A = this chain, B = another copy of it.
Amino acid sequence: MALSKSHRVLCNTVNYFRKESAIVRFLHKTLQCKKCLTPETVNPNFRGLEYAITGPLLQKAIEIEREISQGHKKKFENVMRLNIGDAQSLGQPPITFLRQVLTLVTYPDLMNDKTFPEDAKLRARNILEKCPGGSAGSYSDACGMEIIRRQIAKYIEKRDNVASHWRNCMMGQGAADMAKKFLTILQLSKDGLETGILNPVPEYPFYSSTIAELGLKRIDYFSDEDNQWNVNINELQRAIDEAKSRCNPRAIIVINPGNPTSHVLTKENMEEIVKFAFRENLIIIADEVYQNNVIKDDCDFISFKRILNDMGKPYSDMELVSLMSVSKGVFAESGSKCGYAEVINLDPEIPPMFVKSLSASLCPSVLAQTTVYSLVNPPNPNEPSYEQFEHEKNSIIGGLKMSASIVEESIHSLEGMSCNPIEGAIFFYPRIRLPQGAIEKAERMKLSPDEFYAMELLQETGICVVPGSGFKQKPGTYHIRMTLLSDPNMVHKIMERFKKFHFKFMKGFSP
């Protein structure tokens, strides 16, 4: 940017010759590019960051949406963005009670409005009384309002039947935000080795992206598709043993219920993982944001905290970070962007450091915190909103269950396609055995085979999914991740479109 006079003269000279030789072109570029921040001088961890969920497929989907809005004719009326776990964007209605509390906190004049129920007013008053100046327009404490954190602790205690202290429950701008902050505190170069983080594959790409951005080392371990995506401990051991020469493993990420895999880990498998983490002196980072999305009747969500506690000493003293969000489950307020971490058994000197870092950014949005308050403090049976809340909740959970059956039935009817049962979370992640012809065509197009399949699916049907390559997968296996909707009628229609496409696609590549 800063060009001295002599530089400019040289530039002009160089300009004259610029088409003449590669060397001169190089010189010219060197002289012109005096920006302070360039791809060469950027934080090297930012080079090559990827985030598949909003990657090429979504970009293509947006392009198609634009064309449709400009009147271009397509084989379908609209794009279905099944690439993201964003329930309300796909028609899941918000929970009325949560929105009422939020509205009253935002606009206290409505406290006198008789159409708002007393239990919502009570929650809103509780919040406003604790806001400095009585307004949600004030900052809260760095980890969120004490009244909400106390309610989070109660919610966890009720879930696990294990004590929870509110000071261990820290709110942030989403579970991902808290995970990132926690991973940051693990950054350490020791004996020339960086911190290594065990990361499940298929993975939630937020983690690999964040691990890369923070300069940490990723240690991928494969979940076992043949065993309902549980974790084989030999595989964990293989992964960590191979990694020890290149990094210093310090934490293991476990996503349960799974994303993209929608499995629920068995109690036995969780105990094995805990024992492994103990042997290897790893902190467990348990991403449990789908804890309220379990839809299989014979499945129960068990928190890692509960497992540690039930296993007794020494396991119950292990360091654990458990993540939860208001973006998923029945409430599904993704747009609110709020979540929390419960951290237990940390060295007592660590949380104050963490809080000081959070303090500099002041606090998570108070409005967003208010949505968490409803998540952890919903109407109870003797309150006026209880009936409506239960109805709305059951309708969503019931819808997800029916949708899951429709999906499973459809998938099983299709040649070359299989899928583990959908137990929790809000995705299905079928495996596709692609014909050799399709694989070869994808290679010619410089796409991974499942990316090619997903691109064809999008262009033929408007259904936007994420190819398995975006989550990493065992070499030679191909998958797609689709979001499960709570509206079974819509899921039925989508699966009809999908089945037709798949049949045609497979037929087109049959030998």
Contacts and interface: CB of A to CB of B under 8 A. Distances in A.
Contact of A90 (B2, B90, B133): B133
- How many chain copies? 2
Nearest to A331: B137
Interface in A149-203: 173-174, 176-177, 180, 184-188, 190
5 contacts: A2-B281, A89-B139, A106-B106, A337-B364, A367-B368
Interface centre among A44, A137, A205, A366 (most CB of B within 10 A): A137
Contacts of A180: 361
Interface in A26-48: 33-39, 41-47
A350 interface: yes
Interface string A346-358: 1101100110110
A117 to B, nearest CB: 13
A388 interface: no
Interface string A424-452: 00000000000000000000000000000
A285 to B, nearest CB: 11
Q: Which 7 residue pairs of A and B lie closest in terms of their CB atoms, listed nearest first?
A: A89-B132, A335-B366, A89-B138, A88-B137, A89-B133, A337-B365, A209-B360
Interface centre among A133, A213, A314, A335 (most CB of B within 10 A): A335
Contact of A356 (B49, B92, B136, B354): B49
A335 B174 contact: no
B1 A88 contact: no
B346 A362 contact: no
A458 interface: no
Nearest to A51: B359
A345 B37 CA distance: 10
A350 B50 contact: no
A357 to B, nearest CB: 6
